[in-house]
Amino acid sequence: MNDPLAIHVAGLRKAYGSGHLALAGVNLDVHAGEFFGLLGPNGAGKSSLINILAGIVRRTSGVAEIFGFDVERDFYQSRQLLGVVPQELAYDPFFTVREFLRMQSGYFGLRHNDDWLDELMTELDLTDKASTNLRALSGGMKRRVLIAQALVHKPPVVVLDEPTAGVDVELRQGLWRFMRRYNAEGNTVILTTHYLEEAEELCARIAILQQGRIIALDRKDALLRASNWRVLTVTFDHDPGALPPDLVESMIGAGENTRVLRIDARRHPLGAVLAQLQSLPAQILDLHLQEPRLEDAFTDILGQGR
């Protein structure tokens, strides 16, 4: 890629007072305009990395830059370039939605930007709540306000830290429509989520963190190709009876004449599986092979990283 680097991280380490090493020399480049996935189990170091980029946590050592601005030495410039949607519902209960967004705009030196705030509220379905006090909003509505808060200054880099945790389907779909459009306008979006289907649908490149280290970093399609898992649905002309003993543990579903197998191709090559299925006392009418999902690749990679 020839695009400038939105995020540049090199040798980034973060050790807490207890001696816990949250980040153990992370190297990561995110190019301008990417929709990038940052995945990992709880405790992998995602929040520490995000908080360092946001200037909330100081690094122990290493480099962390946003469009070339160091997140500590050039804090004002780097913070102007970044918007973060946090996991926690942190807000000031004494303001209405519009007052809160105007106040957040003021932190970035912005005045008279109501046109953009109106657009944000429209996109996030907050228009009819503009004059409502924040403490009177539901959890889902508060989540929408936090998303708008992160975008009041139109940052070229947005970090979405578990943005759809505990929210309704309507908000989730609306948020992704809006963020796709925001990304299409040239802005960089970094997503952390436990909903792997979201990352699979939205992100072109993905990094996986485990125990403070990046254990995989590649394009999504390359990660999927590297997975050994396949889901095979087989329909027979009548009940085939019991599966061969070494396939029994692979069965994840069954109908009257159907068997669904989740197969590890390292242990069960597809040709050998098909030969065993053809040996059953029923004729195969249909086969459907589902390609790996990101969840399969994620599980594989974490297992290999232990």
- Alpha carbons 88 and 108: distance in angstroms, whole number: 21
CA distances from 273 to 3, 91, 288 (A): 45, 55, 13
Can you give the pLDDT at residue 30?
Answer: 97
Could you tell me which residues come within 8 angstroms of residue 271 by beta carbon, excluding any fewer than 6 positions away?
none
- Alpha carbons 34 and 42: distance in angstroms, whole number: 24
Can you give the pLDDT at residue 201?
Answer: 92
Give the chain's largest Cα–Cα span.
76
Can you give the pLDDT at residue 285?
Answer: 94
DSSP string, 51-68: HHHTTSS--SEEEEEETT
pLDDT in tens, the chain (306 residues): 456 899 999 999 999 887 789 999 999 999 999 999 999 998 899 999 999 999 999 999 999 999 999 999 999 999 999 999 887 766 677 889 999 999 999 988 888 898 999 999 998 889 999 999 988 888 888 888 989 999 999 999 999 998 877 677 887 888 899 899 999 999 999 999 888 889 999 999 999 999 999 999 999 988 888 777 788 999 999 999 888 888 888 888 988 899 999 888 777 888 899 999 999 999 999 999 887 788 888 887 887 755
β-pairing, 157-161 with 82-85? parallel
Can you give the pLDDT at residue 246?
Answer: 83
Can you give the pLDDT at residue 302?
Answer: 82
- Alpha carbons 26 and 183: distance in angstroms, whole number: 25
Name beta bridge partners: 26: 12
Over the range 12-35, which residues count as b (16 or more CB within 10 Å of their CB) and which as e?
Answer: bbbeeeeeebbbeebebbbbbbbb
Can you give the pLDDT at residue 91?
Answer: 65
Burial class (CB in 10 A: 0-12, 13-18, 19+), 263: buried
- Alpha carbons 217 and 35: distance in angstroms, whole number: 14
